Amino acid sequence: MGQVTITRASTKDAQRLTRLCHASSSYQGVYTDAISTVELTSDYITEHLVFLATDQEAHLLGFYSLIRDPPELDMLFVADEAQGQGVGRLLVDHMIEKTRQNGLAGVRVVSHPPAEGFYRRVGARRIGTVPAKPPMTTWERPELWFGIT
């Protein structure tokens, strides 16, 4: 895959981050409604810790957004063509380091059900289940926790 660079997103990145969310094959079928109205705005990027991963040619490979209070990984997306290449793990490692730097004890994740295995492989532990919230989410979601040491 080559070199991956992780940098803080700027307000100019809002549209391309939103496009990456909408293009995700992980949110097709029953999960489509959950992502169809998501829009990363300039205000969202300014308010939260949003970091993006790019390759040497500045192609967007993925991003994450961390809410500080209460600490929660709000979004983590990897471009379909970059999945399975370690980008998600790099983003989680970066998120954990940023969490540590901000003095937070841990980070909650309300996971997309198909992503639970990924989060568990990179160190999160399951702490519960979040009930469905129709009409956007008609399924239960795993609740996980990254403890920061």
CATH number at residue 17: 3.40.630.30
Give the residue from 142, 131, 147, 112 showing the smallest Cα distance to 33.
Answer: 112
Where does the pLDDT of residue 65 fall: very low under 50, low under 70, confident under 90, or very high at 90 and above?
Answer: very high
Cα–Cα–Cα angle for 141, 143, 146, rounded to 5 degrees? 145
Q: For 98-122, what is each residue's pLDDT tens digit?
A: 999 989 999 999 999 999 999 999 9
With 0-12 CB in 10 A as exposed, 13-18 as middle and 19+ as buried, what is 106?
Answer: middle
pTM: 0.93
Q: How many domains does the chain have?
A: 1
Q: For 8-30, what is each residue's pLDDT tens digit?
A: 999 999 999 999 998 988 877 77
* Enclosing domain of residue 100: 5-147
Bigger pLDDT: 69 or 26? Answer: 69
pLDDT of residue 19: 95
